[in-house]
Structure 1
Amino acid sequence: MAEQTETNGVSEELPVLIVGSGSTGLALAQGLRKAGISCLVFEKEPSQVRERDWNMGLHWGAPVLKSLMPDGWWDNIQAIQVDPHVPTKDEDSLFLIQGNTGETMLEITFGPFYRLRRSKLRRLLSESLNIQYNKRLSAITYAEDAKSVTAHFHDGTSATGRTLVGADGARSTIRKCLLGPDHAAINRIPYAATFIQRRFTKEQALFLRKFHPLFLASAHPDNRFAFFGMHDALDADDPSTWTFFFYISWQSSLEEQDATAGWKDAQRLAQQKQFAKKFCDPWKSAYEWTPDDAPVWYVGLTDWDPGLPGHRWDNHRGLVTMVGDAVHPMTYQRGQGLNHSVTDAGKLRDALVKIREGADQKDTITAFEEEMIARGGGEVRDGTANTMLLHDWDKVQQSPFYRKGMKT
């Protein structure tokens, strides 16, 4: 049974503590609220607003996310897509084209496929939750009787709950608390990408969108990979309000990444424009039409494999665990991250319901973790292999993207 505590003479059930208010943590919180399990969410940032926004593919994980949402909320899924004006098809096609010629290399048919704005998804999932901001985790302590766990924050406050869940992203503080800085450190890999979000004139926007209404990928013989898609279609009747999202990624050694760490946006964009000269449309024109002083977003790619030796954490008799990017951050070219993360949330919700009903906490949380590690760790390895192969023209057809499409 769940631990009880006395507050002002009233018996209350200890809450589940969730660190991180990204999509995974919020989806879990909504699932717990729906199941009647109290929870608190803690976020290190001062508010929900983020400087950067991106979009994510949801497909095989959609039924799990729906199960976590309160009844009726799934009806809002259309409104949080990159283009809420285009109804989601039962089946859609994602094309991989040859980057220099535009020739179709592969057509992947699957569905339904949802392309969600991260900011809109988080805003929806934040509703009716108790979220405390400016809460940066500093330490974790455990009750000797294994009935509670306490999260300590840098501002001197603390919170005690029945379970602590790390949903705090790829550079998770909870992962560092559990494994130490060396084993928990994110793994840098020799690939990089520079992302651009941009509006264009009406005529330019109509031209760019004719290649595909939502998303398009390409592999180039120069060992580069590129993506082009919608990020926000504010007004269906005014193409000048549409924001496109595009990038070119490339093999970039860690030495190169370190040497260019101080580059300004203009240098990043100039590099992308040089790459784009050898690409077909829509990339060629999109980069030509992007002003040289446009803001960009650069990342060196990373992963962290929970299946590696030394990466299995002690869950302290089921009092602490992790979900989402905190436990299996992966590269993004195959579009699996959100699907695995919401699956983690759904399976952990189920585990916590079982514990409430009398199941052993240590055994139940350990079983949840073993499945997640096998599933998510396999995807991390698949994702990194996929990234490597998509940037090797002679081996593109061996990539998981080419062989398995979007299937898990």
Structure 2
Amino acid sequence: MGIVKWLWTLLGAKPAEVIASEPKLTTTVLVVGAGSTGLALAQGLNKAGIPCIVLEKHASIGGHSRDWNMGLHWGAESLKSLVPDELWEQIQLVQVDPTISPTKDDALNIVNGSTGENMTSIPAPFFNRLRRRKLRELLATGLDVRYNKRIQGINYSGHNHYVTARLSDESCLTAKIIIGADGARSTIRQLLLPQTGQIRPLPYCATFVQARFDPERARFLRQFHPLYLAGINPAGLFAFFGMHDAEDPDRPETWTFFFYISWQSSYEEQEKTAGWTNAQRLTQVKTLAREFANPWKSAFEWLEDDHQVWYMVLSEFDPGAQGHRWNNHGGRITLAGDAAHAMTYQRGQGLNHSITDAAKLVEAIRDFVSGGRAQSTVISEYEEEMIARASGEVRLSTLNTRLVHDWDNVLQSPVLTSGMKNHSSEGL
């Protein structure tokens, strides 16, 4: 190795350097991110007998201070194909209420948030509502997950064979392929696209709450729907209310509810309120909740003044947008899940596309590991399909977010016209 390359390696100053010598292979696949996508992908690779290591920046699965739940519907078959039967048989245990099983008649009811009157009921057959942390704990079973690991940079071998991740603890791991499944603010994406890899904030935001109530109040709130309910308010507000964890079905005081209100928020407003305290966020969302009928009105009113809330600006990353096409370096690095296509959540598509990515990536990796096809070819084909499929959904979800906050045009919103189906399968 020349003196210049040796110095760059020593200093670790380049995020993506081509090196001449071949390093020692650590594993076949290195997955960055132990979220639902990364763990589902690793389960599929493990099932296929392909060596895999998962890196996670937090100290444990529960290391993130917040938890939430997610809808899995048309993507469920992909998840089932990735995990061993004994894990799939436990999927019911990670439902928000394990005593209620998904059925073919499941539907998401959407009400007028101001009056409580029903607007529509969107069919969602076998709608799994999964607790994220519990799903991750299940999917981590039997995997080589390494915690407290942060990526500093990527090196590529000179013979187009291997890729090496440089970590903040000064260790290195070398694989045939690195897959960035590290979420909407993906480090891997930003290494691949240093100028354009940031997520794009949108002029919408939301404040989320998780809360328990006394038995009488808990029973009252749950009577509106045992699992989930959405509301569109003529004041330009969108809301969700549902169960997060029915710890003991017979003890309502153990039920944790999950609910939020979202609204249009200009970039100027976002900047102006960026330093707000938890108390200010809570006061703001309580004020918005007064525009709502129950369950939102009472649920927010009953919160203590120091109750913890979670505020976020909605954002997107469209992999099909100009300047967003990354170099996969001969199929040695790619993206999946929110790292590849961060999208808004009012249409409930994110997890379904992410799990689909994982299933298609396992197929691609199996193809090149078996020697049947070239690595560069199968990974590029994966990306082409994924980008075409998910880019359309990113745009549709953002359009949907705009329209569910616009009462005059809400009936044109994709969630009301197309439901929660995979639009790419319908040619929309």
Matched with 2:45 is 32
- Hey, what's the Cα distance between the residues in 2 that align with 1:6 and 1:266? 52
Is the counterpart of residue 111 in structure 1 residue 125 in structure 2? yes
Matched with 2:426 is none
Is the counterpart of residue 165 in structure 1 residue 215 in structure 2? no
**Residue 90 (structure 1) shift:** 2.2
What root-mean-square deviation, in Å, do the aligned CA atoms of Structure 1 and Structure 2 show? 1.3
Partner SS for 2:193: helix
- Hey, what's the Cα distance between the residues in 2 that align with 1:250 and 1:240? 30
- Hey, what's the Cα distance between the residues in 2 that align with 1:93 and 1:13? 46
- Hey, what's the Cα distance between the residues in 2 that align with 1:344 and 1:318? 15
Matched with 2:136 is 122
Q: What code does the residue aligned with 2:267 have?
A: L
Query: C-alpha deviations, 1:117-138, integer Å up to 9, x for none?
Result: 0000000111111111111111
**Residue 261 (structure 1) shift:** 1.0
For the Cα contact (< 8 Å) 2:26–2:174, is it kept in 1? Answer: no
For the Cα contact (< 8 Å) 1:351–1:365, is it kept in 2? Answer: yes
**Residue 72 (structure 1) shift:** 2.2
For the Cα contact (< 8 Å) 1:13–1:38, is it kept in 2? Answer: no
Using the size of structure 2 for normalisation, the TM-score is: 0.92
- Hey, what's the Cα distance between the residues in 2 that align with 1:207 and 1:294? 20
Matched with 2:283 is 270
Unaligned runs of 5+ in 1: none
For the Cα contact (< 8 Å) 2:26–2:173, is it kept in 1? Answer: no
Match of 2:72 among 48, 54, 58: 58
Is the counterpart of residue 192 in structure 1 residue 205 in structure 2? yes
Q: What code does the residue aligned with 1:81 have?
A: Q
Pairing of 1:355-366 with structure 2 (within 5 A): 355-358=368-371, 359-366=373-380
Pairing of 1:293-332 with structure 2 (within 5 A): 293-332=306-345
Is the counterpart of residue 393 in structure 1 residue 407 in structure 2? yes
Match of 2:146 among 123, 132, 136: 132
Pairing of 1:171-250 with structure 2 (within 5 A): 171-180=185-194, 182-250=195-263
Is the counterpart of residue 88 in structure 1 residue 102 in structure 2? yes
**Residue 13 (structure 1) shift:** 8.1
Is the counterpart of residue 17 in structure 1 residue 30 in structure 2? yes
Partner SS for 1:240: helix
- Hey, what's the Cα distance between the residues in 1 that align with 2:131 and 2:273? 30
- Hey, what's the Cα distance between the residues in 1 that align with 2:363 and 2:327? 21
**Residue 406 (structure 1) shift:** 0.7
- Say which is worse superposed, 81-90 or 373-382, in terms of deviation: 81-90
Query: C-alpha deviations, 1:168-188, integer Å up to 9, x for none?
Result: 1111111111111x3001100
- Hey, what's the Cα distance between the residues in 2 that align with 1:285 and 1:173? 40
Query: C-alpha deviations, 1:268-305, integer Å up to 9, x for none?
Result: 11111111112100011111111111000000110011
Partner SS for 1:309: coil
- Hey, what's the Cα distance between the residues in 2 that align with 1:384 and 1:56? 18
- Hey, what's the Cα distance between the residues in 2 that align with 1:122 and 1:335? 19
Matched with 1:348 is 361
Is the counterpart of residue 288 in structure 1 residue 288 in structure 2? no
- Hey, what's the Cα distance between the residues in 2 that align with 1:131 and 1:210? 41
For the Cα contact (< 8 Å) 2:205–2:312, is it kept in 1? Answer: yes
Match of 1:145 among 131, 148, 159: 159
For the Cα contact (< 8 Å) 1:223–1:392, is it kept in 2? Answer: yes
For the Cα contact (< 8 Å) 1:233–1:241, is it kept in 2? Answer: yes
- Hey, what's the Cα distance between the residues in 2 that align with 1:267 and 1:6? 53
- Hey, what's the Cα distance between the residues in 2 that align with 1:256 and 1:6? 50
**Residue 44 (structure 1) shift:** 1.4
Is the counterpart of residue 72 in structure 1 residue 86 in structure 2? yes
Using the size of structure 1 for normalisation, the TM-score is: 0.96
Matched with 2:5 is none
Matched with 1:336 is 349
- Structure 1: which 4+ aligned runs deviate by more than 3 Å? none
Q: What code does the residue aligned with 1:266 have?
A: A
Q: What code does the residue aligned with 1:66 have?
A: K
- Hey, what's the Cα distance between the residues in 2 that align with 1:268 and 1:164? 39
**Residue 71 (structure 1) shift:** 2.2
- Hey, what's the Cα distance between the residues in 2 that align with 1:375 and 1:6? 36
Partner SS for 1:299: strand
